[in-house]
Amino acid sequence: MGLKTLCLGMFCVIFVSHIYTPLPANIEESWKVMVLDTIAKTCTFMAICFENIGIMRYEEFISMIFHLDYTEPQSDEYVTVTDTTFVDIPVRLYVPKRKSETPRRAVIYIHGGAFCFGSFKQTALDFLNRWTAKTLDAVVIGVDYRLAPQHHFPAQFEDCLTVVKYFLQDKILTKYRVDPTRICISGDSSGGALTAAVTQKALFAEYLGINDFMNTVKFLTSFQEVPPTSDENVTVTETTFNNIPVRVYVPKRKAKTLRRGLFFIHGGGWCLGSAAWFSYDLLSRRTADQLDTVVVSTNYRLAPEYHFPIQFEDVYDALKWFLRQDVLEKYGVDPERVGVSGDSAGGNLAAAVAQELIKDPDVKIKLKTQSLIYPALQTLDMDLPSYRENAQFPILPKSFMVRLWSEYFTTDGSFEKAMLLNQHVPVESSHLFKFTNWSSLLPDKFKKGHVYNTPTYGSSELAKKYPGFLDVRAAPLLADDAQLRGLPLTYIVTCQYDVLRDDGVMYVTRLRNAGVQVTHNHIEDGFHGALSYNGFKTGYRVEKQYFSWLRENL
């Protein structure tokens, strides 16, 4: 008798013996549950029998049963399905075929199987992931992992964590056009356990007192970093300016005259980011090559280990070093053509150091330009029209922006809560609201019928404990007109779908009122971080306009 015939015969006998297992009366469609239960019990019983008589091991038999249900990656009219690997871990990708004007959601799905069986190839899971991708217009990643008994804990956990960290890289999210603020991880049974473990690694460590949330996010995003690699057009090196790590990009082609110099400050909410991030490395490389410019991309110490004014001081010290005559000569930079630039929190720091340089008698070489790309500029009012309209918008929702602001000054959660409620400014600082009163500083098209709310004042104790949030070096919009006069040619990018939109728009108004020459580039279809997402047409357009302005004015 052949093995297949033996298996079939045993299956039928055992199936019949189990089919009458009673179930509770309130089970919906109990006959279906009965069939599934009987199949599971039959396969389990046969696996035990085969192991006891020495035909095959229990796990081998169950794995064989699971393999009968595996499917190949088949695309259809709605979803493109492919099998690939993320850092040598097998994954199955489901990408919707319909065009999307905005970044998509993403779901990372980890299959069950008691850590010993299963795969994303199972028919039911393939159907679920395909349906998820189609219905939710989401990129879905089905994850496989090494299985017991060949591999034991923590191999399964490490494989899943590796896939998650790889997928969270900026260049991978850009490749698949995924919104980094709309990523979900999911799983069933043992896959649910792995999902919980991976999630805890990123989130719950803070609640348990093991690690700060930002430290965990910093660790995960560190996988976006790339080494300083020169190419045929640009020489890339890492060094320090006044003990601050910087990455320097110098065009390889011979220069007939002294070059422009651009000091670039990365974003990341004062907590995240690096000059080595893929997106910043690519931007600096393109800037150097296309504008024949020496680019200095600076790092700075980050929260939560370091709070204001450390970030400001690091950037200011590095910029002052770059503005030394001997340093400019070393890199062949024209001292009359040096600019500062930055995006988001980097735009905040760029604006702050530009203001500080005006009154610094030790700095003889002044900036020609400042370029502020969707900058964060004020800490007083978290109820601007842009915060109201984009409170839940992808990339930078209000809650995350407030978290970043609060981490800049302290890890005290009470400050974050007060800021989120817009009740953090004490009455004795009420005079500062004139610098951020959007009812008078925003053009009508940005007000859109919003009503200005009179500030609700907060605790004086918070302001005494964390006075940095009222410091002009942290909130450049709080500078008076006398401080703004004398600032260099200014370029400000704002995006319609960005909680920080009105910060930049109000700064445009304030600078123009103070007599500063400003070019305001408002991106109607733009969102926060657009310049870093070159996979989108908006990102390419912002970069092209940014380069055009620098080429003409720097």
Choosing from 119, 344, 406, 532, which is the catalytic residue? 344
Q: Using CA atoms in the order 197, 120, 115, 32, what is the torsion angle rounded to 10 degrees? A: 110
What does the angle CA 164 – CA 166 – CA 172 come to, to the nearest 5 degrees? 115
Return phi, psi of residue 354, to 5°.
-65, -40
Q: What does the alpha-carbon distance between residue 546 and residue 245 come to, in Å, rounded to a whole number?
A: 25
CA 65-188-111 angle, 5° bins: 55
Question: How far is Cα 343 from Cα 358, in angstroms, rounded to an integer?
Answer: 21
Q: Which residues pair with 523 in a beta bridge?
A: 495
* 344 is an active site residue: yes
Task: Specify the residue for token string 């502020």.
Answer: 372
- Which of 30, 186, 189, 414 is flagged as catalytic? 189
Residue 459 bears catalytic tag? no
Q: Which residue has the tokens 């930055």?
A: 342
Give the sheet arrangement for strand 89-96, strand by strand: 79-86, 89-96, 138-143, 104-110, 178-187
Beta pairing class for 333-343 and 369-373? parallel
Strand partners, 259: 333
Q: Which helix (H) or strand (E) holds 456?
A: none
Distance CA 517, CA 75 (A): 54
CB-hemisphere CA count at 13 Å for 57? 7
Specify whether the CB–CB gap between 336 and 366 falls below 8 A.
no
Location of structure tokens 């047409």: 537
Q: Which residues are catalytic?
A: 189, 344
